[in-house]
Amino acid sequence: MGFLTAYFAHFVIGAIVTLTYLAFRVYQENSKFTKELQVFLNLKTVSYNRARATNSVLKTRLANLERENLRLKKSIEVLSQDYNAKAEVKVSSNDFIESRSEDVERIEQELNSVRKLLDGDLKTQVKDFERELEWLNKRLADLQKQIEGKRRKAFESLSAADINRAA
């Protein structure tokens, strides 16, 4: 009877040690993946923050250019009204209006280029971020499947070993 109790205690201790080892291995795998994921997410956060900062700068520039454009258009309107009201200032006003019109055209071209930059840059960054997020989700699902498979194998092998010992 004492031999059977010792054999059973040996069997229970072996099972506890094996389960503890398996739990430790699963913890190590999870820790490793968590660290890799954290580093990757930190890099993506930095890249996303840079994109937001660039976007903010471009939006500010766009707003400034739009204000300048409105100011110049108002200036042209005022000068056009003055031109109609005062015939003696006709030549100088006309030159000034032409120079302002060129300024307005230049600013409108800059506005269009900034708008194109904003649209293209943001769309590209959002698509890249979505693709990387999708890849991360797939990677996470794969790692979870691998961990679950390792757990199942470990428990199945433990059960088979226990059965062999008992027999």
Residue 125: which residues within 8 A CB-CB, separation 6 or more? 48, 51
CA distance 15 to 23: 12
Q: Which amino acid is at 99?
A: S
Backbone Cα Rg of the chain: 36
Containing structural domain, residue 152: 2-166
8 A C-beta contact, residue 58 and residue 122: no
* Number of domains observed in the structure of the chain: 1
Q: How far apart are CA 109 and CA 104, in angstroms?
A: 9
- 103 touches 72 (CB < 8 A): yes
Determine the Cα–Cα distance for residues 62 and 119; give it in Å rounded to an integer. Answer: 12
Q: What is the pTM of this model?
A: 0.37
- The pLDDT tens digits along the chain (167 residues) read 677 788 788 888 888 888 888 888 888 888 888 888 888 888 888 878 887 888 788 888 888 888 888 888 888 777 777 666 665 555 555 666 676 777 778 878 887 777 776 666 667 776 777 787 788 778 777 777 877 777 777 666 665 555 555 44
Cβ(75)–Cβ(100) under 8 Å?
A: yes
